[in-house]
Amino acid sequence: MKDKKKTAGVTSGSPAADTLQKPAETPQSTEKRAEAPVIDEATSALLKTIADFDGKYFEGAFNIRSNCMSLGRRSTENIRIESKTDLPGLDIRIAPGTKGEKCFIPACVTKPDVDDLVYNDFFVSEGADVTIVAGCGVHTETGEPARHSGIHRFFLEKGARVLYVEKHVGTGSDQTKKVIDPQTQCFLAEGAYIEMDTSQLGGVSTSVRRTSAELAAGAQIVIRERLLTDADETAESYFTVTLNGEDSKVNLMSRSVARGNSHQTYQSNIIGNARSYGHSECDAILAENGRVDAMPQLSANCQDAELIHEAAIGKIAGEQIMKLRTLGLTEEQAEATIIDGFLK
């Protein structure tokens, strides 16, 4: 690999970037809409997939990162997005009591031979209740590999609530390696709540996802992971949730489909250090020569920690296919319908 553009970071306003448009950087602005950033076709397509981008603007605060640079940014009165000074990435600060607002932080890599590493920290103040849409798309057409690694940290103050939606997708040439390695770390204060909805539904050659969370009293985390791998793709997911506070809770659900010659690894560890409740569920469907390793772990360090794990790996049940065939679907249609529903 030659001259890899590593960790250029969010550089709003940097004159060196050939794809960089003048960012709509209005951190103090309370405007509901900013100027639409100019975005190339490949990036626009990825943004549509990962963040429902309509080609014009996002409703709410946003920062669009593409090929290590910021294509556009908007802060709102309650959600401030600022570049880090020491690392590539952003500090996103959400004001106390902010309700119902959205924040979009998508990242795309559309050039070969890019290794993008970004650190985004979300500081969610007491009583806030917001939706954060992240996600990453990698599109390459040439033979050079492309990689994005997003390291996201969430600091939720007392009673804060977050819905975090993260979609990953790879598009372009099948011959090119597309790598996405996300890390998510959550720190929940008393009574805080975060719901993580993550999905990776194809096209990513390799991914290693590491998610961890530490919960104080009464805090709760819900994690939904959906994963589809095909061909020779590999995907690894590692979850560690530590229940430190009384009555803290975790519900971790992973659903995956391994097709072709793909291989997935799932590993979870729920650690109960106090009176707490933990539930994890790993369901995987195997098709063709797909393989899955599942390693759930429960660690109870308190008598009142109630920890449960359920796991099931197997091919699509023949009875399910037969039921759909009696409704007029072909075997292939039935399989596709079952997988679509399973990963929905």
Taking the least distance from each CB to another protein, the nearer of 70 and 198 is: 198
Three-state DSSP at 97 gives coil
Of 264, 171, 271, which Cα lies nearest the Cα of 225?
264
Q: Note the helical H segments in the chain.
A: 41-51, 318-326, 331-343
Give the Å distances, CA to CA, from 79 to 122, 126, 131, 148, 173: 10, 13, 11, 25, 37
100 binds another protein (CB under 8 A): no
Assign residue 100 a region: left if phi > 0, alpha if psi is -120 to 50, beta otherwise? left
- Distance from C-alpha of 252 to C-alpha of 258, rounded to nearest angstrom: 19
Q: CB of 149: closest distance to another protein in angstroms?
A: 30
Q: Which stretch binds another protein (CB under 8 A): 2-10, 67-75, 167-175, 323-331?
A: 323-331
Taking the least distance from each CB to another protein, the nearer of 15 and 341 is: 341
Taking the least distance from each CB to another protein, the nearer of 295 and 336 is: 336
- Distance from C-alpha of 102 to C-alpha of 146, rounded to nearest angstrom: 29
Q: CB of 229: closest distance to another protein in angstroms?
A: 18
Give the residue, chosen from 166, 230, 283, 335, that forms a contact with another protein under the rule CB under 8 A.
Answer: 283
Site pattern 293..322 for another protein (x: CB under 8 A): ------------------------x-xx-x
286 binds another protein (CB under 8 A): no
Taking the least distance from each CB to another protein, the nearer of 2 and 344 is: 344
Q: Which two tokens stand for residue 120?
A: 């985004």
Taking the least distance from each CB to another protein, the nearer of 265 and 337 is: 337
Q: CB of 328: closest distance to another protein in angstroms?
A: 4
- First and final CA of the chain: distance in angstroms? 37
Q: Which stretch binds another protein (CB under 8 A): 79-87, 147-155, 214-222, 334-342?
A: 334-342
Taking the least distance from each CB to another protein, the nearer of 209 and 255 is: 255
Give the residue, chosen from 142, 143, 331, 336, that forms a contact with another protein under the rule CB under 8 A.
Answer: 331
Residues 198-257 that bind another protein (CB under 8 A): 255
Q: CB of 256: closest distance to another protein in angstroms?
A: 12
Query: How far is Cα of residue 251 from the mean position of the Cα atoms in its chain?
Result: 17
336 binds another protein (CB under 8 A): no
Q: CB of 193: closest distance to another protein in angstroms?
A: 22
CA angle 81, 86, 88 (to 5 degrees): 60
Side chain identity at residue 64, one-letter code: I
Residue 329 near residue 340 (C-beta atoms within 8 A): no
85 binds another protein (CB under 8 A): no
Taking the least distance from each CB to another protein, the nearer of 99 and 315 is: 315
Taking the least distance from each CB to another protein, the nearer of 100 and 328 is: 328
Site pattern 246..265 for another protein (x: CB under 8 A): ---------x----------
Of 142, 194, 200, which Cα lies nearest the Cα of 166?
200
Could you list the beta-strand ranges (E) of 157-203: 161-172, 178-180, 183-188, 193-201
- Distance from C-alpha of 197 to C-alpha of 332, rounded to nearest angstrom: 28
Q: Number of residues in contact with another protein, rule: CB under 8 A? A: 21
- Distance from C-alpha of 50 to C-alpha of 221, rounded to nearest angstrom: 22
Give the residue, chosen from 16, 18, 28, 341, that forms a contact with another protein under the rule CB under 8 A.
Answer: 341
Applying CB under 8 A, the residues found at the interface with another protein are: 255, 283, 317, 319-320, 322-331, 337-338, 341-344
